[in-house]
Amino acid sequence: MKKYGKRISRYLMKNKRGRFYCVAGVLYLLAILFVMNDAWLYQTPIVKVTKVVTIVEGKSKSTRGTEETKYKQSLYGKIINGEDKGKEVRIANEYTTTEMLAQKYHKGDRVFYKGSSIIGVKRDTMLVVMLGFLALLLLGIAGRQGGLTIITAMMNILIFVIGFWMADDTSEILSVCSRLILFFAVVTLVGLNGIHRKTFAALLTTLCVLLMIMGIFDLVMQHMEELDYSTMEYLGSIDNPDEIFHAEIMLSGLGAIMDVAVAISVALSEIVEQKPEVKFVELFRSGREIGYDIMGTMINVLLFVFGCGLIPTCLIRMNNEVRFVTIVKLHIPCELCRFFVESIGIVLAIPVSIFITAVMMKLSVKKREKRC
């Protein structure tokens, strides 16, 4: 045992990378241990379930006429924080096979307890486990680029949270969002590519394309009948759905548009560097070639992100005799509209970014020639 320890420590002394990963791994484990035992930070009482008794309560018909079993659970547990620490409690829980609104609990679960019922599961441990795993994976496989990715993603989330915490209410969300988008774009592009001429080309492209798609969207909106915002999910009692919808389109399309802009500007600047005397038409042609490849897949990425989020609500409606066509027509036009506008943005980003990059690169080459 001692021998192995010595060998490992010698390896670590020699290898800087190894030492770094080791520290990261230990930090990860410590973070998990910390969130597993952070109940004292919470004000809401947390119960650790120690024993579960589940009985079948009855059977009813599901919407399709099949059998739906109803279960009743008695959960025994102990409060692990706050004033009532150590108190034994018994909680009743009911759920059905679908587990749509109420879920099944298992031994060892930690749940928030209020009144005499459960108001939520403690999910922070899982969240930290997953986030840490992702960070380690990125560092381990992608190395320095992975580190940069983590830093930019974290900064973006920070900007998002601070921006919305600062905004007092939702009334000015559009102006807040458009300012935030500038930050997002600068942080992401500079963070991933460094300060370089191609970064500015990508930045300019992103902003231009965003302006263009918002212009197209507004133009179509003005000439056609109003979009019915009441079908938007999570609407609640927000009084300016129109502005929020605009902000949503800009934000969720931003990543994809930046991706296209970066891919094209990096490739084109590479070509110009290798061959400074390249013609404008040739640049345009090779940019188009790259554009073909990414256009389809980028739209697909957005399609799956947007389409899959709709599955649960679609299932409920389709099982309650709402036809699929009706759902598309009446329940999800907002989502569809967003998807279309963003896809238009992705496609438009290709010619725009080719044009901007080519002009910027050519200009810089010409300047250099003059100086000589």
Partner 1 sequence: MLIILGLILMIVIVLVGGDRGAMSLIALAGNILCLSLAIWLYAVGAPVFLVTAGAGILISCITLFYQNGTNIKTWSAFLAVAITMCVLFAFIYLVVWKSGAGGLNEIQAAGEDVFYYNMNLDISMPKVATAVIVLSTLGAVIDMALTVTTSVYEVKCHKPDIKMNKLVQSGMKIGKDVIGTTVNTLLFAYLGESLLLFAYLRMQNYSIELLLNSKILFQNCISMIFGAISCTMIMPVSAVLIAKNCELFDWMENSK
Using CB under 8 A as the binding rule, the residues of this chain from 68 to 127 that contact partner 1 are: 68, 96-101, 103-105, 109, 112, 119-124, 126-127
We find the least distance from the C-beta atom of residue 246 to partner 1, in angstroms, to be 11
Of 294, 286, 254, 283, residue with least CA distance to 360: 283
Instruction: Give strand ranges (E) for the chain.
Output: 46-61, 67-79, 88-96, 110-114, 117-121
Distance of alpha carbon 62 from the chain centroid: 34
- Report the residue from 27, 33, 137, 182 that binds partner 1 according to the rule CB under 8 A: 137
Phi and psi angles of residue 62, each rounded to the nearest 5 degrees, phi first:
-85, 180
- Report the residue from 22, 52, 214, 251 that binds partner 1 according to the rule CB under 8 A: 251
Q: Does 66 bind partner 1 (CB under 8 A)?
A: yes
Contact 272, 346 (CB under 8 A): no
We find the least distance from the C-beta atom of residue 1 to partner 1, in angstroms, to be 32
Which neighbouring-strand residues pair with 112?
Answer: 46, 120
Helix axes 16-36, 124-166, angle to 10 degrees: 90
Task: Give the nearer residue to partner 1 in terms of CB position, either 33 or 235.
Answer: 235
* Residues of this chain, 189-218, that bind partner 1 according to CB under 8 A: 191-192, 216-217
Which part of the chain contacts partner 1 (CB under 8 A), choosing from 2-10, 18-26, 244-252, 359-367?
Answer: 244-252
Which part of the chain contacts partner 1 (CB under 8 A), choosing from 16-24, 47-55, 86-94, 258-266?
Answer: 258-266
Task: Give the nearer residue to partner 1 in terms of CB position, either 250 or 278.
Answer: 250
Task: Give the nearer residue to partner 1 in terms of CB position, either 6 or 59.
Answer: 59
Task: Give the nearer residue to partner 1 in terms of CB position, either 4 or 43.
Answer: 43
Of 313, 300, 309, 299, residue with least CA distance to 349: 299
* Residues of this chain, 333-352, that bind partner 1 according to CB under 8 A: 333, 336-337, 340-341, 343-344, 347-348, 350-351
Q: Does 330 bind partner 1 (CB under 8 A)?
A: no
Distances (CA, A) of 370 to 92, 274, 366: 82, 19, 6
We find the least distance from the C-beta atom of residue 322 to partner 1, in angstroms, to be 8
How many CB atoms are closer than 10 A to CB 31?
A: 16
- Report the residue from 9, 15, 37, 63 that binds partner 1 according to the rule CB under 8 A: 63
* Residues of this chain, 1-40, that bind partner 1 according to CB under 8 A: none
Q: Identify the residue whose tokens are 């250099």.
A: 368
Rounded Cα distance, 243 and 171, in Å: 8
- Report the residue from 201, 203, 204, 253 that binds partner 1 according to the rule CB under 8 A: 253
Task: Give the nearer residue to partner 1 in terms of CB position, either 182 or 316.
Answer: 316
* Residues of this chain, 168-187, that bind partner 1 according to CB under 8 A: 169-170, 173, 177, 184
**148-173 CB burial, b ≥16 within 10 A, e <16:** bbbebbeebeeeeeebeeeeeebeeb
Contact 209, 349 (CB under 8 A): yes
